[in-house]
Amino acid sequence: MKKVIYCILTISILFTVSSCNLLLVAVRNIPTFFEAPEKVKNKITQPIRKDVKLSALWIGHATVLLQMDDKVIITDPFLTETAGEFARRVVEPGIEVENIPPCDLILISHSHFDHLNLASIEMLAEKNNNTALVFPADLENYIPDYDLKLYRMKNDNGYGSKIIGESKIINGIKVTSVFAQHWGGRYGVDGYLWGDNAFTGYIIEYNGMTVYFAGDTGYDSLKFKQLGAIFKIDLALIPIGPCADCKQCGTYSHVFPPDAYSIYQDISAKWMIPIHYGTLHFAQADPMEPVFAFREIIKDNKAEERVSILGIGEQKILLHK
């Protein structure tokens, strides 16, 4: 009997160790459950304007509402108060859900709980069933059916050798899945052990404008330079966290501020908006820590006019008609 119990204990410990990253996130988020998310003042009620050609509204974390002429695109929608039940927002979403117009594209970069929020997709699906839900291969295993048009994009099994997955014209917009260095999975072990590759970055091209959404990625100088050589990117949405020691280089799967700025330089984008910080407790530091470090980098490089650090709920109009 003792042997059986030892076996069971061993397996349970292995399971716990394999999922330790999720557990750490859960532990770090305990304090957030005792305070309501910070309110966003003066939320924008009409994010889409007729006189605007290109704009970006940062809703928080990796969620950005893009206007490209008459098209509306939202990235990794996270509009609820919690992500995966155990991570609560520290700041509420930067726009009221009812003020988000029907979208042409919903882009999902990967299957992690802070990027793939099933309830948020449902909220957007209720607005318009002509919306396209675009996601990388393998992510189909993590989404139910929605009243949306589903598009699965190839990603070269996690971009082992290529940097381009595939291109598709979706609702009149050219969407290309491109290199990201991350990992898939959603429930701990499946991501860490089972080699799930549900992750990607995106290039969105419409009416002569090109936007790059990095999703969540680590840094590979060569591949980002190749990407910059292929696409003439106007706006880049690049993550800068999570990080504790944010002046250092990032990890295999996450860029920290110095690498994020390197990506921006490698791809030769015209403008950049940093994302993936200030919304959830991931690292041991303050969620705003990445932007403090990033601000210094921007100042040192005199890039204040090209890089816009937005507050949650703030909109940057980049091109007028």
Partner 1 sequence: MNRLIIFIQKLRFFIILTAILIAQSTLSQLKDENTFLKWGSWALLQTIPSPAFFDDRNEVTSGIKFGMQWHVVPVSYSFNSNKYVSPFNFFYIKPVNRFSGSVETFFEPSLIPGGFRNNSLKKFMYNAGARLVLPVFHKGEYLAVSLGAGYYNQQSFERKYDGVTYEAGVYSFFGMLGLKFQYNQYGLNRYNLSLYIKYY
Q: Which residues bind partner 1 (CB under 8 A)?
A: 1, 3-4, 7-8, 10-12, 14-15, 17-18, 20, 80, 84-86, 117-119, 122, 140-146, 150, 152, 157-158, 160, 183, 186-187, 189-197, 252-253
Return all residues near 3 (Cβ < 8 A) that are at least 6 apart.
none
Closest approach of partner 1 to the CB of residue 25, in Å: 13
- Phi/psi for 160 (5° steps) reads -65, -45
Closest approach of partner 1 to the CB of residue 185, in Å: 8
C-alpha distances in Å from residue 216, one per residue of 62, 81, 110, 253: 8, 20, 8, 8
Closest approach of partner 1 to the CB of residue 26, in Å: 10
**Residue 227 is which amino acid?**
L
How far is the C-alpha of 6 from the C-alpha of 206, rounded, in Å? Answer: 60
Closest approach of partner 1 to the CB of residue 121, in Å: 9
Nearer to partner 1 by Cβ, of 6 and 230: the residue is 6
Nearer to partner 1 by Cβ, of 183 and 271: the residue is 183
Give first-to-last CA distance, the chain, whole Å.
76
Nearest Cα neighbor of 177 from 140, 212, 206 is 212
How far is the C-alpha of 17 from the C-alpha of 150, rounded, in Å? Answer: 35
How far is the C-alpha of 79 from the C-alpha of 38, rounded, in Å? Answer: 14
Nearer to partner 1 by Cβ, of 138 and 266: the residue is 138
Closest approach of partner 1 to the CB of residue 143, in Å: 6
Nearer to partner 1 by Cβ, of 192 and 292: the residue is 192
**Residue 239 is which amino acid?**
P
Instruction: With beta carbons less than 8 A apart as the criterion, state whether 56 and 237 touch.
Output: yes
Closest approach of partner 1 to the CB of residue 310, in Å: 28
Torsion sign, CA atoms 101, 103, 104, 105: positive
Q: Structure tokens of 137?
A: 């291969």
Q: What angle do CA 111, 60, 157 make, to 5 degrees?
A: 25
Nearer to partner 1 by Cβ, of 181 and 262: the residue is 181
Closest approach of partner 1 to the CB of residue 84, in Å: 8
How far is the C-alpha of 240 from the C-alpha of 58, rounded, in Å? Answer: 14
Nearer to partner 1 by Cβ, of 101 and 188: the residue is 188
